[in-house]
Amino acid sequence: MDVISVIRTKRDHGELSDEQIDWVVDAYTRGAVADEQMSALAMAILLNGMTEREISRWTAAMIGSGERLDFSALSRPTVDKHSTGGVGDKITLPLAPLVAACGAAVPQLSGRGLGHTGGTLDKLESIPGWRARLSGEEVLRVLEEVGAVICAAGEGLAPADRKLYALRDVTGTVESIPLIASSIMSKKIAEGTGSLVLDVKVGTGAFMKTLDDARELARTMVALGGDAGVRTVALLTDMSTPLGRTAGNALEVRESVEVLAGGGPSDVVDLTVALAREMLAGAGIDGVDPADALRDGRAMDVWRRMITAQGGDPDAPLPTARETHTVTAPRDGVLTRLDAYAVGLAAWRLGAGRARKEDAVQAGAGVELHAKPGESVRAGQPLLTLHTDTPEVFQYALGALDADALTISPPGTPHAARPVVLERIA
């Protein structure tokens, strides 16, 4: 078996055999296949796709590259959630403690930023002292005592995916449905959760731009979960406009705390509650309304305990960027378009994301939204505030926010709001 023949098979629209898949995943994990070779194979997969059999085998090979966790000793049922990535998607932060406050255990193994989308771990690391890396014993202890943990996958959990995930981020191969599905599901199945809810984003700010592509990805992942005995449900959710009013790391943590305090933007609250209801149903917990746990402070209590258990200080001031730049409305009217991808790209250019897998991110960088589609604006009114420690990138970020990214229509123009949850697939 050699990597060149594997690359050529997929490059020439062929179907990889089980033996080829098992070998190349194992060889890449061991370092016998170089990054540039796996990059070529990932690009061939993106361009030419995979059959259901190939995806299933690739996922199994990723799981087989490492260990599997076991949460059967916990006193609570386990349930997890995964988002395919979006702009301003801070949902995991209020969601995990909310579901834990309602009686489930939430082992939320999360990742870092991928392309123009934010990473949950990058956001939480803006909290002073907070640790993403926990031992298996620490994860079990926090889950039993607190009910929720948000952390990085351990070194032994699907190590093939950890290497490939970072590689896809910097080689233009993020959007491949087979690679997205196998990446997500290999970690979630190996994680050992009892049930899983998927938040599959669709729109300009998502990796899936169309409903058809989002459905294909959701159905692929739901099938992979079912095959592995994990009850899996997917919600297709809108990502044509950023979620909430912030895109960036510390900015999104601040907004998440507002949601946990009973406030926050309505779209963030609505999606958080919708996903919480699905997670509780998957965990077999009936008769509990997660909206009540947001209102009465139970979710906030779990958040504070969860952050403290991972070394963070929930009362510490969050980092702020040294420099800001405000974009104002050029005329009166109605904001009818605020493109999620453009905002995500601007946040990435400001330092909230990374261009190389080894790059650091700026905790305070990002974009603050002062108006959302459907709202009336006046000439000179702030629309966006850009935050960064490196003011020389302002013009680079502003280049993403062109006339196609923000549309101000004449006063009185009607605007039909798109629902945040578009479809459910089970």
Which CATH number belongs to the domain containing residue 8 in this structure?
1.20.970.10
Q: Which of 274, 309, 344 is the C-terminal boundary of a domain? A: 309
168 catalytic, yes or no?
yes
Q: Which of 89, 161, 199, 339 is catalytic?
A: 161
Shared-domain flag, residues 301 and 327: no
C-alpha dihedral sign at 123, 128, 134, 137: negative
Task: Measure the CA angle with vertex 302, ends 133 and 272; round to 5°.
Answer: 90
Find the farthest-apart pair of alpha carbons in the chain and give their distance in angstroms, rounded. Answer: 66
Which DSSP category does 210 fall into? S
Is the CB of residue 238 less than 8 Å from the CB of residue 275?
Answer: no
Q: Residue 255 and residue 89: Cα distance in Å, rounded?
A: 11
Alpha carbon distances (Å) from 67 to 77, 182, 189, 209, 291? 21, 16, 11, 34, 36
Is position 225 within any domain? yes
Is position 419 within any domain? no
What SS3 state is found at 341? helix
Shared-domain flag, residues 8 and 100: no
Is position 142 within any domain? yes
Shared-domain flag, residues 151 and 229: yes
Which DSSP category does 319 fall into? P
Is position 55 within any domain? no
Shared-domain flag, residues 147 and 198: yes
pTM of the entire structure?
0.90
- Cβ-Cβ contacts under 8 Å for 69 (sequence gap 6 or more): 107, 136, 139, 157, 190, 191, 192
Is position 315 within any domain? no
Q: Which of 244, 279, 309 is the C-terminal boundary of a domain? A: 309
Is position 329 within any domain? yes
CATH code where residue 252 lies: 3.40.1030.10
Q: Which of 10, 82, 162, 245 is catalytic?
A: 82
AA letter at 131: R
Domain count for the chain: 3
CATH code where residue 357 lies: 3.90.1170.30
Q: Residue 225 and residue 228: Cα distance in Å, rounded?
A: 5
Q: Residue 156 and residue 323: Cα distance in Å, rounded?
A: 40
187 catalytic, yes or no?
yes
Shared-domain flag, residues 87 and 40: no
The strands making up 376-377's β-sheet, listed across from edge to edge, are: 376-377, 333-338, 406-409
Shared-domain flag, residues 361 and 285: no
Q: List the one residue out of 273, 316, 346 whose CA is nearest residue 102.
A: 273
Is position 330 within any domain? yes
Is position 351 within any domain? yes
Shared-domain flag, residues 335 and 304: no
Q: Residue 234 and residue 196: Cα distance in Å, rounded?
A: 8
What SS3 state is found at 426? coil
The DSSP code sequence of 39-88 is HHHHHHHHHH---HHHHHHHHHHHHHTS-----TTSSS-BEEEEE---SS
Task: Give me the pLDDT at residue 357, please.
Answer: 65
H helix intervals, 326-421:
340-347, 394-398
Task: Measure the CA angle with vertex 424, ends 274 and 252; round to 5°.
Answer: 40
Q: Is 375 exposed, middle or buried (0-12, 13-18, 19+ CB in 10 A)?
A: middle
Q: Which of 168, 231, 245, 354 is catalytic?
A: 168
Q: Which of 183, 186, 195, 240 is catalytic?
A: 183
Task: Measure the CA angle with vertex 196, ends 190 and 201; round to 5°.
Answer: 110
Shared-domain flag, residues 95 and 191: yes
Shared-domain flag, residues 385 and 302: no
Q: Which of 10, 112, 162, 187 is catalytic?
A: 187
183 catalytic, yes or no?
yes
Q: List the one residue out of 40, 65, 147, 161 whose CA is nearest residue 99.
A: 147
Shared-domain flag, residues 260 and 351: no
Task: Give me the pLDDT at residue 165, please.
Answer: 83
Dihedral angle, C-alpha 219, 22, 119, 132, nearest 10 °: 130
Domain containing 17 equals 3-49
Shared-domain flag, residues 282 and 356: no
From first to last of its 426 residues, the chain has per-residue pLDDT tens of 899 999 999 999 999 999 999 999 999 999 999 999 999 999 999 999 999 999 999 999 999 999 988 898 999 999 999 998 899 999 999 999 999 999 999 999 887 776 677 789 999 999 999 999 999 899 999 999 999 999 998 778 889 998 998 898 789 898 899 999 999 999 999 988 999 999 999 999 998 999 999 999 999 999 999 989 999 999 999 999 999 999 999 999 999 999 999 999 999 999 999 999 999 999 999 999 999 999 999 999 999 999 999 999 999 999 999 999 999 999 999 999 999 999 999 999 999 988 776 778 999 999 999 999 999 999 999 999 999 999 999 999 999 998 889 999 999 999 888 899 999 999
Q: Residue 207 and residue 104: Cα distance in Å, rounded?
A: 30
Shared-domain flag, residues 298 and 348: no
